[in-house]
Amino acid sequence: MRRYVFVLLVIAFIFSLPRQLFNVSYSPVLYDREGRLLGAKVAADGQWRFPAADTINEKFSIALIEAEDRRFRRHLGVDPLAISRAMIQNISNKRIVSGGSTITMQTIRLSRGMRKRNIFEKSIEAILALRLEIGRSKDDILALYAANAPFGANVVGLEAAAWRWFGRSSEDLSWAEAAVLAVLPNNPAMIHPGRNRETLKNKRDALLEKLLKNGHIDNETYFLSIAEPLPGEPLALPRFAPHLLERFVLSSGSAAFKTTLDRDIQERTSVILNRAGDRFAFNGIFNGACIVMNTRTGEVFAYVGNTLTHHAPDVDINISWRSSGSLLKPFLFAAMLDSGDITHSSFVSDIPTRIGSFSPENITRNYLGVIPADDALARSLNVPAARMLRTYGVDRFTQLLRSLGLTTLFRSGNDYGLPLVLGGAEVTLFEITGLYAGLGRAVNANSGTTANEIFFTPIVNIVTPVNRSNSSQRTARQTAGRLQRQTAPPVSAGAAWLTLEALAYAARPGEEAIWQEYAGARHIAWKTGTSFGLRDAWAIGVTPEWTVGVWIGNASGEGRPELRSTLTAAPVMFEIFSMLDSAGGNRGTWFFKPTAQLRSEETCASSGFPASINCAEIKFTDMPLNAPAVSACRYCHTIDGQKWFILTPAEEWYYRRWNLDYRPLPASINAHGIQGRGGGVLALFNPEPESQVYVPRELDGTDGKIVFSAAHRNDSETIHWHLDTQYLGFTRTFHEIEARPEPGYRTLTLVDSAGNTIQRSFYVLNTQ
């Protein structure tokens, strides 16, 4: 029987401690890549309580042991000498003046909810302390105590106390500060700024004297320490990345997170953005956000979710869906380089265009006739982009964007239509910045790898829960942010490099020319974008080291006339690049040309397409290695033994107004027509072939009219217009005419005085 009782007692002893000693809520805490505090929130029970660290500050552990339990390292949880001394003191004073508890026993008492002190409770604490000593190391016990001891007010745990009372990590505590925190748990009320100050100072100084006497500090340290002031009011904790902290508090059950952020870069980026926000607020622009990524690794170094403002400050703009503006154009350019639809300098049409009810317009309200593809990208022209997307395919482009990592494209390509590339879809700053970093990473990675080893997909994991119980925890570089390996990169290294070259070096018009020289001197590939209605201003820049994405606007979606990217987002982006340079960036470096992923082709010096026998001059142009052959130049023709560069009539009509050196065909050749050679003298802009059109309705409810427009190589020529069998009239110089056709299939016929004819069939929709 005694044996069974003994066995039961042993089993009870083994299982006397719960698996989780402290069942409490912890403050969500965010750390940077070096383990520095970025921010924290109060725990669910209203306490500032940080998760236990693997190790604690050595100064604090020495001071605590000297103050509470000098034989801590030598006993098994219960110190008989301390208990005997306490009993003698209590009997002689006829009251409890000492409990004789060890640090281990105090840890147990904290875990049991600070129950009423009596002999029975003390006995239980002693038994559980012995059990704790058997299962845990001395350092583990110190860490448990330090993480759960009260330090005054609503502060629990050493790390929270160090920040709340001294504004720094526990790792950086001085001897005087460590001594203050060592004496607080037995009387937390001593920290109150309005009372007990003298008592707290006396206890601290007495402990410092003991540390001096026992050889832990020298005389100089002692005198400097007793001269240090006591802490005052509780200090506010850092708030360097509040939106990121809130984001991961909502999406994870963990309490501590270690990120790839760099606290210095995070803080400086926040200062730049908030300073700019103060300026923009005068124009009714109240919000801004920024992402800074390491281009080579995809790790996020700064995450500013919003400016410090009274207008929707809690909205995390970085993950908010906003109109993309022109930000998707570079990816269409890169895709068409890989597909062989264009070379980087081949001509694309820039003429009035109507596809169904969609009629894109350039922001300049001008047309250039034709323009090299890279120049169209740098100028962010809408008409060439829409025409390029029609050639490439909307659904095909939608699938490409999804493969690159955009998760906001929830509709089919047909639903988006051609406006997709002009701002007709939503993106987040976080994801679109990752895509731009992917362009740079595709080029960077290829310098030492083969094409199928390129990292492209943007990083989405920038924070890792900290497992405080794992002493072999990996560093932030190893744990936070994993690159995804793709066997077939969506954009080749060659196309990515040509795209970045276009964004870095092509001439820019208007307001963007202000920043062109600045960006060129720093070697930055950059793109701006402004959404329809002036609601979103974007600027994203890429270098081999950094990718910076900036959004400026109103979280409410309110547009403002002053909300233009070149006046808001671009200056902020360039200021951040300057800060990164001063923080140790490699200013002036540029991407190495991935020569192994490019091939050189002979192209027409005029049109940029692969040269034909009709081209008068040729040049060599880089193309992605595996891109299919682009169709040969269709603009050059040999007529009567002479080589001519001939644009279509519509393209020529606009191109001649911007290029005075252009040589049109002589009238004698025009008279014979060159339709069979890719030319022609007549061009019809609207309607498009086989298009469906509506007859607009006026504001007063009456039926309106359709405006048909055309062009002729000869500016002085007369064009006669016919709608089915009805003669509409004639035009000279500016060829536009109005009509109100009936619903159904209709045919528009144009004839000039020489008999040259063009016909166009279209369908008029019934608006009833």
What pLDDT, on a 0 to 100 scale, did the predictor assign at position 390? 94
Does pLDDT of 226 surpass 90? yes
129 or 757, higher pLDDT: 757
Label residue 448 by pLDDT band (50, 70, 90): very low
Whether residue 642 is predicted with pLDDT greater than 50 in this model: the reply is yes
φ, ψ of residue 676 to 5 degrees: the values are: -70, -10
**3-state SS, one letter per residue, for 293-345:** EECCCCCEEEEECCCCCCCCCCCCHHHCCEECCCCCHHHHHHHHHHHCCCCCC
Q: What is the pLDDT of residue 613?
A: 94
| C-alpha angle 339-343-349 in degrees, rounded to nearest 5 | 100
Q: State which H helix or E strand residue 257 sits in.
A: strand 256-259
So what's the pLDDT on residue 584?
67
Per-residue pLDDT band for 314 (boundaries 50, 70, 90) equals: very high
pLDDT (average), residues 476-496: 58
The answer to which of 36-50, 140-154, 455-469, 632-646 has the lowest mean pLDDT is: 455-469
Q: Which of 439, 545, 451 is nearest to 502 (CA)?
A: 439
Query: Which tens digit of pLDDT belongs to each residue from 348-399?
Result: 999 988 877 788 999 888 999 999 999 999 999 999 999 999 999 999 999 9
Largest CA distance in the chain: 128
pLDDT at 16 over 70: no
pLDDT for residue 484 is more than 70? no
pLDDT of 679 reads 52
| Cis status of the peptide bond prior to 687, with omega within 30 of 0 | yes
- At residue 97, the pLDDT reads 47
Phi, psi of 721 (to 5 degrees): -110, 135
pLDDT at res. 766 = 78
Band (715; pLDDT cuts 50, 70, 90) = confident
Q: How far apart are CA 436 and CA 442, in angstroms?
A: 10
Query: Which pLDDT score, from 0 to 100, does residue 486 have?
Result: 39
Amino acid at 760: R
Place of tokens 């300026």: 279
Please indicate whether residue 435 or residue 121 has the higher confidence score (pLDDT).
435
pLDDT number for residue 490? 87
Query: What is the distance between the alpha carbons of residues 609 and 370, in angstroms, rounded to a whole number?
Result: 13
- The least confident of 189-193, 439-443, 619-623 is 189-193
Per-residue pLDDT at 474: 36
pLDDT of 647-674, one tens digit each?
Answer: 988 899 899 889 988 988 876 665 444 5
* pLDDT above 50: residue 457: no
Q: pLDDT tens across 74-86, in order?
A: 888 777 775 656 5
Average pLDDT value for the chain: 85
Q: Please state the separation of Cα 219 from the chain's center in Å.
A: 52
Distances (CA, A) of 307 to 32, 464, 540: 20, 25, 18
Give the pLDDT band of residue 188 (cuts 50, 70, 90).
confident
531-555: average pLDDT: 95
pLDDT at 282: 94
For residue 344, give the nearest of 619, 586, 567 by alpha carbon.
619
Query: How far is the C-alpha of 160 from the C-alpha of 183, rounded, in Å?
Result: 16
Q: 52: pLDDT confidence band, cut at 50, 70 and 90?
A: confident
131-140, 421-430, 667-676: which has the highest mean pLDDT? Answer: 421-430
Residues 6+ apart with CB under 8 A from 180: 165, 191, 200, 204, 230, 231
Q: Which residue has the higher pLDDT, 619 or 187?
A: 619
Confidence (pLDDT) at 499: 97
Per-residue DSSP letter, 288:
E
| Helix-strand-coil split of the chain, %, nearest 5 | 40, 20, 45
Structure confidence at residue 247 as a pLDDT band (50, 70, 90): confident
Q: Which two tokens stand for residue 15?
A: 């299982």
Give the mean model confidence (pLDDT) for residues 247-265: 83
In this predicted model, which residue has the larger pLDDT, 251 or 575? 575
* Across 179-183, 227-231, 392-396, 464-468, least confident range: 464-468
How many Cα atoms occupy the beta-carbon half-sphere of 279 within 13 Å? 13
pLDDT of 636 above 50:
yes
CA distance 508 to 511: 8
Confidence of residue 565 (pLDDT cuts 50, 70, 90): very high
Residue among 565, 539, 535, 536 at smallest CA distance from 550: 539
- CA–CA separation, 267 and 557 (whole Å): 27
Q: Answer whether residue 224 shows pLDDT above 70.
A: yes
Choice among 96-105, 242-251, 257-266 with the minimum mean pLDDT: 96-105
pLDDT score of 439:
94
3-state secondary structure of 260: coil
SS3 595: helix
Which one has a higher pLDDT value, 585 or 716? 716
Q: Confidence class of residue 453 from pLDDT cuts 50, 70 and 90? A: very low
Predicted pLDDT at 675: 46
**Gap between the terminal Cα atoms of the chain:** 100
pLDDT for 92 equals 60
Instruction: Name the token pair of 485.
Output: 């390996």
Q: Please give the average per-residue pLDDT across 491-500, as a whole number.
A: 96
Q: Choose the weakest-confidence range: 132-141, 455-464, 590-599, 683-692.
A: 455-464
DSSP state of 150: B
Half-sphere exposure of 517 (CA within 13 A, CB side): 3
- H or E segment and range at residue 570: helix 569-582
Secondary structure (DSSP) of 654-681: HHHHH-TT--PPPHHHHHH--GGGT--S
User: Angle at CA 260, nearest 5°, toward 259 and 264?
Assistant: 100
- Band (pLDDT 50/70/90 cuts) for residue 250 is confident
